[in-house]
Amino acid sequence: MAEYGLPALFTLLLWWSSTGLIIYLDGLRRETFRWTMLGATTLLLAGLFGLHAVAQDTGVAAAWLGFVCGVLCWAWIEIAFLTGVVTGPRRTPIPPDLSGWPRFKAAVAVILWHELAIVAMAAAILTLTWGAPNQIGTWTFLAFWAMRQSAKLNLFLGVRNLSESFLPDHLRYLESYFARRRMNLLFPFSVVAGLVAATMLVLAAVSPDATRHEAVGFTLLASLVVLGLLEHVFMVLPIPADALWRWGLASRTREGRQEPSGAA
């Protein structure tokens, strides 16, 4: 059971701690961001090198390392966006009277460089691991991408809780692109798709034909998708979930800023 329980627990702790750390760093003064990006870029390079190094390895350790390297690559994407280094050509609030297709185009413009950076990163990872037997790191990055795209679309279309409490001051204009409503038509499909993906990964992990590498790797991926589903559920709950990362938000109050209300 350790080959299932330990990966699940590790994914939970990594998700909670890394999310809080990113929130904390992005809440510090902007002059600290150069050091944050330097550290994130160093870890990114280590992650890309690690993905290539373990791509041909199908041992248990290679599954763990591939997963961690995939997380490091995605962490750079998140940090680059939340520090404001890689966002989009538009950096202003959306006019309140804008709707429909013009509103969608404006929303794309605020995250365009961010989206292109994800595509470039995915291309780099696929190049480093193409045809290799160990694809755990690649699937980790792609799972993050799919879950984040779903979250962005649901925030744009409208959910109950908007995660505005996690936006740093320099990205406050993004709040105007969110819509608050009980639920939107995409949300049930997002949840169903996540449930199907998680179920398939769990079945692959517990299959009698699965190797130890596959059992550990698919358990890590399944746990990650389940946590992504949990984040989606937070969007429609009537209570905020920012208490999970209260320690990460502490950097904003230390800088003398009032912590905003909101939910994860």
Q: What is the count of structural domains for the chain?
A: 1
In a domain, 153, yes or no: yes
In a domain, 64, yes or no: yes
The pLDDT of residue 136 is: 98
- Paired tokens of 3: 């080959």
In a domain, 262, yes or no: no
In a domain, 102, yes or no: yes
DSSP 174-207: GGGG--B-S--THHHHHHHHHHHHHHHHHHHHH-
Predicted TM-score of the model (pTM): 0.93
Compute the Cα dihedral for 100, 101, 102, 108 and give only its sign: positive
The pLDDT of residue 254 is: 59
Q: What is the CA radius of gyration of the chain?
A: 19
The partner residues of 180 in beta bridges, in order of sequence, read 159
Q: How many CB atoms lie within 10 A of CB 198?
A: 19
In a domain, 73, yes or no: yes
Side chain identity, residue 244 = L
Side chain identity, residue 136 = I
Q: How many CB atoms lie within 10 A of CB 97?
A: 7
Q: If we measure between CA atoms, which residue out of 215, 195, 198, 244 comes closest to residue 5?
A: 215
In a domain, 81, yes or no: yes
- Paired tokens of 44: 């990114």
pLDDT tens-digit profile, the chain (264 residues): 677 999 999 999 999 999 999 999 999 999 999 999 999 999 999 999 999 999 999 999 999 999 999 999 999 999 999 999 999 999 999 998 899 999 999 999 999 999 999 999 999 999 999 999 999 999 999 999 999 999 999 999 999 998 888 889 999 999 999 999 999 999 999 999 999 999 999 999 999 999 999 999 999 999 999 999 999 999 998 777 777 888 898 887 655 444 443 333
DSSP 112-155: HHHHHHHHHHHHHHHHHHTT-S--HHHHHHHHHHHHHHHHHHHH
The pLDDT of residue 1 is: 67
The pLDDT of residue 262 is: 37
Q: If we measure between CA atoms, which residue out of 124, 118, 134, 131 comes closest to residue 213?
A: 134
Token look-up 């169903």 returns: 192
The pLDDT of residue 118 is: 98
In a domain, 208, yes or no: yes
User: CA angle at residue 213 from 211 to 215, to 5 degrees?
Assistant: 70
In a domain, 263, yes or no: no
Q: Which domain holds residue 66?
A: 2-254
| Helix orientation angle between 33-54 and 60-82, rounded to the nearest 10 degrees | 150
